[in-house]
Structure 1
Amino acid sequence: MHAARKWFFAGLLVVLPVAVTMWVLQWIIATLDQTLLILPNAWQPDRLLGFHLPGLGVLLALGILLTVGAVASNFAGRKLLAWSDGVFHRIPVVRSIYSGVKQVSDTLFSENGNAFRTAVLIQWPRPEVWTIGFVTGSPGGDVVNHLLGDWVSVYVPTTPNPTGGYFVMLRRTECIELRMSVDEALRYVISMGVVVPPAVAPSLLK
């Protein structure tokens, strides 16, 4: 029984990551395949080919993103983008959603963005309890009028799902910069501390 239990858990450690990875990939492909619905019925690949070919939606979505990116990168595209931004900002309700999403996407995906560039060690949710957070910038707006000193904005992810978490503002001196990449820090969080990055000497956040 001891050997059988050992083999069971050894097999689980091998099969589970593969199964979860395949499930996630299948979900992503199935979701992106929905982009084919924007084509007219007469142009649907299933109708033209006579059978369903998984992954065509992924290629279509990639093509759309590359095309839109190429158009938005030139002078005419930037003018068109500015015009569309103005239209969305004039529509009630829509402008609130659009503005929020655009600010987040600009911060996360812009080449000049500073989101999630630094992993830090902080005491959370109480003193003497430590966790990993990610510096997302500096406090702004009216908040700066109520915070004396040098503060930073930090995102504290949950584990094993880092898409949920907490936004906190801490004194810069209370954050210890970690000499590890954001990917290494995220793997550390997602694995609940199992996948440990190489140990290096930390330094105070500058």
Structure 2
Amino acid sequence: MKKYLIAGLLVWLPLAITIWVLHSVLGLLDGVFAWLLSASQAVLPAAAAEPLEKLKEIPGLGVIVMLLGLLLTGVFATNIAGQWALAQGGRLVNRIPIVKSIYSSVKQVSDTLFSSSGNAFREAVLVQYPRAGSWTIAFVTGRPGGEAAEHLHGEYLSLYVPTTPNPTSGFFLMVPRADVIALQMSVDEALKYIISMGVVAPPLHLPRVVNEPVRNLAG
């Protein structure tokens, strides 16, 4: 009986979690769409706002509209006119007290993480943490900068060490490049390995050449 229950759990658990994640994401998009409709109804006259109320009853419309909005925003942001308009809007936001601190910080992080030319989260490595002889998987986020870099002698890397099984929290480390072992596994494979607490091991890749520099960060 126990064997059959576990076998059934292994079949349904991944599917249930997948459906739960998708349902949460779709619910978030629908919620944003509903909030935009409510804001529009508060501004528009009653005659014009009434048809908008019926749009909330259409299932899946919020997801389609939000995805379409993201697509159109991306098209707008990648042309010259859009880049100029976004730059002007960014300057305006940066003049607002308190708001500029939050906006600039979030923008710098998002630009670093999602930029196609950036090095953040492009590679998984092995590092000794939290003590010598104990190893964990970390992700390269770049190189130390600012005042911290001035106090570090030699070549250092900035690493993010995620926690298990929740990789959204973790620790930020600045370690010597010589103490980091580059891995051939992809970031996706490393995340699966971390989230599964080492149960889902990535496939074995060919060993990297000794003393080969860390990819994308070689000077």
2:24 matches 1:17: no
Q: What is the identity, as a one-letter code, of the residue corresponding to 1:29?
A: L
Match for 1:42 among 40, 50, 65? 50
Give 1:36 shift: 2.1
CA offsets, 1:52-85, max 9 Å, x none? 3332211111111111111111111111111011
Matches within 5 A, 1:112-127: 112-127=117-132
**Compared CA separation, residues 124 and 192, structure 1 to 2 (3 A):** same
**Offset from partner CA, 1:8-40 (integer Å, 9 cap, x none):** 111111111111111111111111002322134
Establish whether residue 7 from structure 1 lines up as the match of residue 9 from structure 2: no
The gaps in structure 2 that reach 5 residues or longer are 41-48, 214-219
Which one of 20, 25, 30 corresponds to residue 28 of structure 1? 25
Q: Contact 1:123–1:130 (CA<8 Å) still a contact in 2?
A: yes
Task: Name the SS for the 1:122 alignment partner.
Answer: strand
Give SS of 1:107's match: helix
The one-letter amino acid paired with 1:60 is V
Q: How does 1:45-84 map to 2 (within 5 A)?
A: 47=54, 52-84=57-89
Cα RMSD (Å) of the superposition? 1.5
Equivalent pair of 1:159/1:192 in contact (CA under 8 Å): yes
Once the two structures are superposed, the pairs formed by residues 37-186 of structure 1 within 5 Å of their partners are: 37=34, 38-39=36-37, 40=40, 41-44=49-52, 47=54, 52-186=57-191
Q: Would you say how many aligned residue pairs link Structure 1 and Structure 2?
A: 200
SS state of the match for residue 163, structure 1? coil
Once residues 166 and 130 of structure 1 are traced to their aligned partners in structure 2, the CA distance between those partners, rounded to angstroms, is: 14
* Higher alpha-carbon deviation: 110-119 or 147-156: 110-119
Name the structure 1 match of 2:45: none
Read off the aligned partner of 1:107 and give its amino acid letter: T
SS of equivalent residue, structure 1 residue 106: helix
Which amino acid in structure 2 is aligned with residue 193 of structure 1? G
Residue type at the aligned position of 2:50: A
Q: TM-score, normalised by structure 1?
A: 0.92
**Mapped partners of 2:197, 2:211: distance in 1:** 24
Contact persistence 1:114–1:136 (CA under 8 A): yes
Identity of aligned residues (%): 53
TM-score by length of 2: 0.86
Task: Pick which of 26-35 and 146-155 moved more.
Answer: 26-35
